[in-house]
């Protein structure tokens, strides 16, 4: 028995067709995962169920809930359904909650609206809900504003708001994507427990295939507005019929299937840090980190948000001045070296491909600028030629020279950023979450590129990431950071096979498998 | 909280010092020798010297600056050069009429502009929205002078609905009679820019994620707009309204001049026309202080309305 | 294709923006022609009778005006002037036989109290207003951008200094500051007005540019420029400034409008341009006395010229702002 039946849903935004004829069912007490990369139309599909699309969207098709076609309901009937029959949880809890009202108020609103409870009843019910979603000290939390809660707590509050009126269907749109990996697991466990206890149906939207097997029985794979494949999780995962599905499955960095790199030989130490520390306005972001990095090796730096890993990476490139400790490059004090000379040898690739290239510079200008600043290439023509070589090294055509960043995809922009870093032929490349913002299929391609480049040039990498699977693939040695401190370090093999510190263990256990 | 207040009040000093320096620079240095202005067309050298001495401008600059700082500190700016009235006296008597016009003006224009802006923001993109916005643009392109002249001419002179100009002696007489047309003109003039600004504020809020969440909860549109959106938009709107106050104080001077309202603004214009430096200096300093105080109040209000703001 | 071209394309698709751009260009052309002396050069000459009627008024009204204009001068008591014939001959010889003192009784837009052509005055006023608007806006934008860039980029004491300067200037309401400066700078004239408006009007631009620089300074493309070795100066002006320029341009446009309106007020009050030149403000200054007499064409001409110019500019600015909006990229 399906509680939700979508039939031939189409959604257009003026010229763009976001959803092109999608049909699927959600069984009455079951969970369906709606999977796809960016641009697949999964979020638009979810929003159209509750009629929450922006005003410039045109939708057609049938959406049957409990026998009624939602698209034919009057506004009042639809409103009665929202939050009561069907509820939704969104991706970004910080912006999805009203910043000027307490969470107690916001959760209570749903109760007052649909159930007409008195103030005292509402308060009691809200406290129950807060406890049910696992928020500690619910009496105090009742009065708190969203910004006073952590990301995980905010999401719990959102969930409380969604389940307040006992909906039959819960739509969760990437509810954990904005959260740290340890918190992700907690929230997923919470959602699973709630669903089991309340026997809700759930439509779970995500881009992460690894989550799907943990949480859903059925899966629907979408790409560019259409469904590529759907079926039970077992069917789709073990015997995918569609090429795209297969590609997605293969691209998953499945942590258990990845081999750690074998450390070979003894390369000379290139970079050494001792007690590096950095404070901002009295708050310590990094509290004394020490490590060594040898030529041609990759040091993986792992941690969640707030661990200080990015700050450490920026210190290594001298973009941040350390508050304490020292950094030695081939034995020399890195901070005594002249600025340009140092930057010639240490380069960085940033996380956000949409922000790391100057939108007003052509690709050619971006690539030739470092050359010009360091005196590489006798004239502009020679520099252009060198730029073309760089582009081909990262797999981009020469014509890209005259184009602008907005004409390229995220993955292509990252390649350009890598090419820019390579233009100086550095010895050390810091990759600060360099693939984290990319779709999983693109991630794999870029990691391949990085490994190939390392083999060709014997560059060392400081590879910073929160994604343990990716780090496992790339690193020879690993450092784990938490709250500004290095809690554990060792070879990749040691860390992944036999983690010693409790935090490292929690981290590894939280990775979806 | 009190440490924040003390720190902010402390910060007044360099700003006030800067204003004092600026005013001093303008009037005592750039302004040239006022003695010639005051002496009249035919003046003997002795007369000019006498005037100079009585004004104190024959002293070296730092002495003059000292005198000025003392004036600011004691709030005593001497006498007007043209009417010989004590400057502080001028202010005391002119403040009332100014406020009689400004306070109702602020209320009326804010409420009307808010209502119109909410309407327009909600029906964004519709014909009503575009029509009103175009009307605002055209409305703003006509100088305030023209509004004053025309409205005064038509409504007061031709139709006789309001007195053309002047001021009465009781509050009631003023509010209902003499201040009515000036307030009307003021409201009309400030509607267009206010509507555009408030519309932007509303649109910013309506586009936020929390509005989508509120709708997803099943809340009705009117509750979403009147409670969720308005409460958030109130933050920039309130601060904006408060920041308008110092500007209004001086900006109403055109209205005061045309309608012969004996307020501060009219004094300022007269003083500028007659090069009456003490009055202009005093007004500038007073308004600067008012602005700083109002800004502080605006910040405190902002804090009270927006829980995210931590006073540092 | 670079972002400017994209913005240009987007702009061209907005017919309101294009129409207003055309009007703005027309005004600029008008002002330019006037400045070069091709038209309206003789605006200050007495070419018509006092308060001559505009040609678009009804014929009967024009008849009445013509009657009034050609009526017997006040000081004629019916006594014949014995020297009239000789005087007439001298006059005609001096003017080479041209009909001397023939003043028009009807002009396209009428005449003011001194018989000056209102249309020509309006055109000359366009030149004044546009000149002041652009020059003052240019000055204010230059100062505001420079100060904002320095304050936003370097921070710390540089920021503190400029913020102090900003708070000093903004403690005094704009028009009051302008009037105070005008009171002090006794001499009038276009240069004075431009300086007054430009040197006091930089604060809005400063605040916006500073905010932009604060935002961009920590953006990754700036960090990346630092990583490859770009100097502070290079980062400020070669990297960040192009990304801030759309804000600056919109502000420039907005301030042109603001300064045109301020100049009108200044000239109206007598603190703006001198008597040797005309501004829409000085035209409006003659309005109160004219309205009482029922002569409304000068105020109509000045107001419509100004309204048309400012509306066109405002619509153009709105369209430009939408076209340049980085969020649409």
Domains in chain C, please, with CATH? 2-43+116-328 (1.10.3720.10), 49-107 (no CATH)
Structure tokens at C322: 């939408």
Backbone angles phi, psi at A489, to 5 degrees: -150, 155
CA dist A271 and A294 (Å) reads 7
DSSP symbol at B157: I
**C225 to A374: CB separation less than 8 angstroms, yes or no:** no
Q: Is B205 on the interface with A (CB under 8 A)?
A: no
> Is B215 an interface residue toward A (CB < 8 Å)?
yes
Query: C205, C254 in Cβ contact below 8 A?
Result: no
Torsions phi, psi for A32 (to 5 deg): -115, 130
Give the Cβ contact number of residue C35 at 10 Å. 16
Say whether A113 and B228 touch across the interface (CB within 8 A): no
Q: For residue B204, give Cα distances in angstroms to B24, B124, B200, C287.
A: 43, 12, 6, 42
Check pLDDT > 60 for residue C15. Answer: yes
pLDDT in tens, A280-337: 888 888 998 999 999 889 999 999 888 999 999 999 999 998 998 999 998 888 888 8
Segment A382-436, tens digit of pLDDT: 999 999 999 999 999 999 999 999 889 889 999 999 999 999 999 999 999 999 8
**Which residues of A147-198 form beta strands (DSSP E)?**
169-173
**Is the CB of B58 inside 8 Å of chain A's CB atoms?**
no
Contacts of A350 in chain C (CB under 8 A): 220, 223-224
- Asked if A369's CB is within 8 angstroms of C228's CB, the reply is yes
Mean confidence (pLDDT) of chain A? 90
Measured between beta carbons, the chain A residues lying within 8 angstroms of B214 are 98, 109
Neighboring chain B residues of A55 at a CB cutoff of 8 Å: 125
What is the reported pLDDT for B96? 81
Averaged pLDDT in 10-residue chunks for chain B of 312 residues: 82 86 78 64 72 70 77 75 77 82 89 89 80 87 88 83 79 77 88 88 88 92 89 88 76 81 84 79 83 86 81 54
Q: Which residue of A has its CA nearest to B124?
A: A55
- pLDDT-derived band of residue A161, with 50, 70 and 90 as boundaries? very high
Average pLDDT value for residue range A105-121: 90
Gap from C102 CA to chain B (nearest CA, Å): 34
**Average pLDDT of the residues in A256-268:** 75
For residue A380, what are its two tokens? Answer: 């502009």
Residue of A nearest to C219 (CA): A355
Residue C78: predicted pLDDT = 60
Tokens at residue C156, please?
């710390």
pLDDT, average across residues C220-247? 92
Do C299 and C287 touch, CB atoms closer than 8 A? Answer: yes
Asked if pLDDT for residue C269 goes beyond 60, the answer is yes
- CB spacing of A79 vs B219 below 8 angstroms: yes
Measured between alpha carbons, how far is B178 from B167 in angstroms, rounded to an integer? 6
* pLDDT score, position C282: 87
Distance from CA of A257 to the nearest CA of C (A): 34
At A431, is the secondary structure helix, strand, or coil? strand
> Is the distance from CB of A232 to CB of A218 less than 8 angstroms?
yes
Rg over alpha carbons for chain A, rounded to the nearest Å, is 25
Most B CBs within 10 Å: which of C126, C133, C168, C315, as the mutation test of the B interface? C168
Describe the strand order of the beta sheet including A86-89 as a list of residue ranges. A86-89, A169-173, A201-206, A31-35, A218-223, A226-232
At B43 the pLDDT is 65
Q: Which residues of B touch C314 (CB under 8 A)?
A: 137, 140-141
Per-residue DSSP letter, C117: B
pTM: 0.83
Check residue C101 and give its pLDDT: 53
Q: Which residues pair with A460 in a beta bridge?
A: A428
Question: What pLDDT is stored for residue C139 in this prediction?
Answer: 96
Q: Please tell me which residue, C181 or A173, carries the higher pLDDT value.
A: A173
For residue A268, count other CB atoms closer than 10 A to its CB: 9
- Interface ipTM > 0.85: no
CB contact under 8 A, C270 and B249: no
Instruction: Judge: A369–C227 Cβ closer than 8 Å, yes or no.
Output: no
Angle at which helices B127-141 and B87-122 pack, to 10 degrees? 150
Pick among B218, B226, B302 to test the A interface (most A CBs inside 10 A): B218
Cβ contact C314–B269 (<8 Å): no
């Amino acid at each position: 028995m399906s509680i939700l039946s979508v039939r031939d849903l189409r959604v257009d935004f003026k010229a763009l067709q976001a959803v092109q004829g999608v049909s699927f069912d959600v069984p009455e007490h079951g969970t369906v995962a709606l999977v796809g990369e960016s641009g697949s139309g999964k979020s638009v599909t979810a929003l159209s169920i509750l009629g929450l699309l922006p005003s410039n969207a045109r939708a057609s098709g049938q959406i049957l809930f409990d026998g009624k076609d939602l698209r034919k309901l009057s506004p009042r009937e639809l409103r009665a359904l929202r939050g009561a029959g069907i509820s939704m949880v969104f991706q970004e809890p910080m912006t999805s909650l009203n910043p000027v009202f307490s969470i107690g108020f916001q959760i209570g609103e749903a109760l007052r609206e649909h159930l007409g409870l008195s103030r005292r009843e509402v308060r009691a019910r809200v406290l129950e809900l807060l406890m049910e979603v696992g928020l500690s000290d619910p009496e105090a939390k009742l009065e708190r504003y969203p910004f006073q809660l952590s990301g995980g707590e905010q999401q719990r509050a959102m969930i409380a708001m969604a389940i307040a009126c006992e909906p039959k269907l819960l739509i969760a749109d990437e509810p954990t994507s904005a959260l740290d990996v340890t918190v992700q697991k907690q929230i997923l466990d919470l959602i699973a427990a709630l669903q089991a206890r309340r026997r809700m149906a759930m439509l779970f939207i995500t881009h992460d295939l690894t989550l799907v097997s943990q949480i859903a029985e059925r899966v629907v794979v979408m790409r560019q507005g259409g469904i590529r494949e759907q079926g039970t999780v077992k069917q789709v995962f073990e015997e995918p019929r569609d090429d795209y599905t297969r590609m997605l499955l293969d691209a998953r960095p499945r942590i258990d299937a990845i081999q750690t790199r074998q450390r070979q030989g003894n390369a000379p130490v290139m970079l050494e840090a001792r007690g590096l520390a950095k404070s901002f306005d009295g708050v310590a972001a990094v509290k004394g980190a020490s490590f060594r990095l040898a030529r041609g090796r990759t040091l993986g730096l792992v941690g969640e948000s707030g661990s200080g890993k990015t700050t450490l990476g920026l210190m290594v490139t001298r973009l941040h001045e350390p508050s304490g400790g020292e950094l030695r490059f081939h034995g020399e004090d890195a901070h005594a070296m002249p600025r340009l000379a140092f930057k010639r040898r240490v380069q960085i690739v940033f996380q956000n491909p949409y922000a790391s290239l100057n939108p007003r510079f052509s690709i050619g200008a971006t690539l030739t600028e470092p050359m010009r600043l360091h005196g590489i290439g006798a004239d502009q023509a020679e520099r252009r030629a060198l730029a073309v070589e760089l582009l081909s090294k990262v797999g981009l055509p020469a014509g890209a020279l005259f184009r602008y960043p907005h004409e390229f995809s995220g993955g292509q922009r990252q390649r350009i950023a890598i090419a820019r870093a390579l233009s100086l032929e550095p010895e050390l490349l810091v990759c600060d979450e360099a693939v984290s913002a990319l779709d999983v299929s693109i991630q794999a391609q870029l990691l391949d590129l990085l490994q190939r480049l390392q083999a060709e040039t014997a560059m060392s990498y400081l590879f910073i990431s929160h994604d343990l699977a990716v780090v496992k693939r790339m690193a020879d040695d690993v450092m784990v950071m938490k709250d500004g401190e290095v809690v554990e370090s060792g070879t990749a093999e040691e860390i992944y096979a036999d983690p010693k510190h409790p935090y490292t263990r929690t981290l590894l256990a939280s990775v979806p498998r | 909280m009190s440490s924040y207040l003390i720190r902010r009040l402390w910060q007044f000093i360099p700003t006030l010092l800067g204003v004092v320096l600026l005013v001093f620079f303008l009037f005592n240095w750039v302004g040239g020798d006022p003695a010639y202005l005051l002496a009249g067309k035919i003046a003997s050298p002795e007369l000019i010297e006498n005037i100079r001495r009585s004004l104190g401008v024959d002293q070296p600059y730092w002495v003059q600056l000292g005198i000025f700082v003392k004036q600011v500190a004691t709030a005593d700016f001497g006498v007007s050069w043209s009417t010989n009235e004590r400057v502080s006296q001028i202010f005391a008597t002119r403040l009332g009429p100014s406020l009689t016009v400004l306070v109702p003006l602020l209320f009326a224009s804010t409420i009307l502009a808010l209502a119109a802006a909410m309407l327009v923001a909600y029906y964004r993109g519709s014909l009503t929205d575009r029509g009103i916005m175009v009307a605002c643009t055209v409305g703003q392109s006509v100088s305030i002078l023209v509004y004053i002249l025309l409205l005064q001419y038509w409504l007061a002179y031709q139709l006789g609905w309001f007195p053309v100009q002047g001021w009465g002696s009781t509050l009631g007489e003023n509010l209902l009679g003499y201040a009515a047309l000036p307030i009307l003109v003021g409201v009309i003039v400030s509607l267009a820019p206010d509507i555009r600004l408030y519309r932007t504020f509303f649109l910013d809020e309506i586009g936020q994620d929390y509005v989508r969440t509120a709708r997803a909860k099943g809340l009705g549109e009117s509750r979403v707009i009147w409670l969720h959106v308005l409460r958030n938009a109130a933050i920039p709107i309130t601060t904006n309204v408060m920041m308008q106050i110092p500007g209004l104080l001086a900006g109403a001077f055109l209205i005061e001049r045309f309608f012969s309202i004996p307020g501060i603004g009219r004094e300022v214009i007269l003083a500028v026309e007659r090069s009456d430096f003490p009055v202009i200096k005093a007004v500038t300093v007073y308004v600067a202080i008012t602005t700083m105080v109002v800004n502080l109040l605006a910040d405190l209000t902002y804090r009270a309305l927006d829980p995210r703001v931590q006073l540092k | 294709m670079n972002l400017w071209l994209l913005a240009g394309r987007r702009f061209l698709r907005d017919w309101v923006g294009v129409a207003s751009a055309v009007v703005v260009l027309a005004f600029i052309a008008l002002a330019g022609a006037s400045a070069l002396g091709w038209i309206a050069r003789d605006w200050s000459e007495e070419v018509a009778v006092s308060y001559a009627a505009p040609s678009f008024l009804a014929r009967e009204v024009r008849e009445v005006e013509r009657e009034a204009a050609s009526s017997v001068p006040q000081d004629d008591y019916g006594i014949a002037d014995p020297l009239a014939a000789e005087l007439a001959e001298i006059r005609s010889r001096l003017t080479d036989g041209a009909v001397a003192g023939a003043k028009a009784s009807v002009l396209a837009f009428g005449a003011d109290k001194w018989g000056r052509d209102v249309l020509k005055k309006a055109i000359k006023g366009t030149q004044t207003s546009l000149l002041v608007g652009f020059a003052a806006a240019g000055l204010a934008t230059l100062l505001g951008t420079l100060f904002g860039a320095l304050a936003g980029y370097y921070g710390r004491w540089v920021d503190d200094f400029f913020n102090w300067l900003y708070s000093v200037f903004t403690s005094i309401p704009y028009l009051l500051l302008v009037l105070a400066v005008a009171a002090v700078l006794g001499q009038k004239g276009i240069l004075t007005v431009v300086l007054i408006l430009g040197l006091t009007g930089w604060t809005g631009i400063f605040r916006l540019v500073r905010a932009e620089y604060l935002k961009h300074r920590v953006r990754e493309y700036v960090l990346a420029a630092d990583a490859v070795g770009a100097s502070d100066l290079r980062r400020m002006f070669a990297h960040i400034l192009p990304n801030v320029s759309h804000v600056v341009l919109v502000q420039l446009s907005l301030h042109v409008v603001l300064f045109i309106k301020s100049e009108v007020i200044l000239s109206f009050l007598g603190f703006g341009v001198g008597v040797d030149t005309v501004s829409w403000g000085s035209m409006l200054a003659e309005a109160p006395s004219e309205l009482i007499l029922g002569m409304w064409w000068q105020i109509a001409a000045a107001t419509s010229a100004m309204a048309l110019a400012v509306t066109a500019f405002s619509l153009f600015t709105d369209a430009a702002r939408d076209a340049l909006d980085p969020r649409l990229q």
